[in-house]
Amino acid sequence: MARKALAALGLADAELSILLVNDNLMQEMNRLYRNKDKTTDALAFSMRDGQYPDINPAILGDIVISLPTAGRQAKEKGHGIYDEIAVLLIHGMLHLAGYDHEKGKKEEARMRRMEKKILESLY
């Protein structure tokens, strides 16, 4: 699934790591890296940002997903946890590819369209 999603972004040869955590660790990471003292569903850490973005361009970065939060969201949305993890993984990949829904409504709409396109290509 991840390989197909990366290919849809034009990043077929890219690498990323995925870390599945509990809410406590996610809250700690969110507090440490984003100054938000609460859990969240997913975080993405790009290797293409920062001081040394060209060290290894094939490595996109890391995606961290909270399994308990993903489980709660899956129940709320009426689908399975694997589907929710797929949504969160794609969302994280888009962040690693440079998409950012926090930059405004236009960018948010662009990101949502790409999420939908990738999800539809997987099923």
Domains located in the chain, CATH noted: 2-122 (3.40.390.30)
Q: What 3-state class would DSSP assign to 104?
A: coil
**pLDDT value at residue 29:** 97
Q: Using pLDDT thresholds of 50, 70 and 90, give the confidence band for residue 88.
A: very high
**pLDDT value at residue 74:** 98
Rounded to two decimals, what is the model's pTM? 0.86
- Specify the pairing of strand 59-66 against strand 42-46: antiparallel
Residue 59 near residue 49, CB atoms below 8 Å: no
Which range among 20-34, 39-53, 61-75 shows the weakest confidence by mean pLDDT?
A: 39-53
Who wins on pLDDT, 12 or 60?
Answer: 60
- What is the greatest pairwise CA distance in the chain? 42
